[in-house]
Amino acid sequence: MWLIVGLGNPGDEYERTRHNIGFGCVNQLAKRHGLSFDGKRANARIAEGNIAGQRVALARPQTFMNLSGQAVSGLRAWYKINPATELLVIYDDVDLPFGKLRLRQRGSAGTHNGMRSIVGQLGNQEFPRLRVGIGQPPPGRDIVGYVLGRFSKEEETELPNIYDATADAIEVLLREGLTAAMNRYNG
Tell me: pLDDT of 75 over 90. Answer: yes
In this model, does residue 23 exceed pLDDT 80?
yes
140 — alpha (psi -120 to 50), left (phi > 0) or beta? Answer: left
Q: Which CATH code fits 2-185? A: 3.40.50.1470
Catalytic (active-site) positions:
19
Check residue 2 and give its pLDDT: 98
Give percent above pLDDT 90 in the chain.
95
Q: What does the pLDDT read at residue 67?
A: 96
| DSSP designation for 106 | S
User: What is the DSSP pairing of strand 44-51 with strand 54-61?
Assistant: antiparallel
Is residue 35 classed exposed, middle or buried when 0-12, 13-18 and 19+ CB atoms within 10 A define those classes? buried
Whether 130 shows a pLDDT value over 90: the answer reads yes
The conformation of residue 56, written as its DSSP 8-state character, comes to E
**pLDDT the model gives residue 105:** 95
Looking at residue 38, its pLDDT comes to: 96
156/88 Cα distance (integer angstroms): 25
Q: What does the domain layout of the chain look like in residue ranges?
A: 2-185
> How confident is the model over 161-170, as a mean pLDDT?
98
**pLDDT score of 95 more than 80:** yes
pLDDT in tens, 55-67: 999 999 999 999 9
Strand-by-strand arrangement of the 129-133 sheet:
39-41, 44-51, 54-61, 2-6, 87-93, 129-133, 101-104
What pLDDT is attached to residue 155? 96
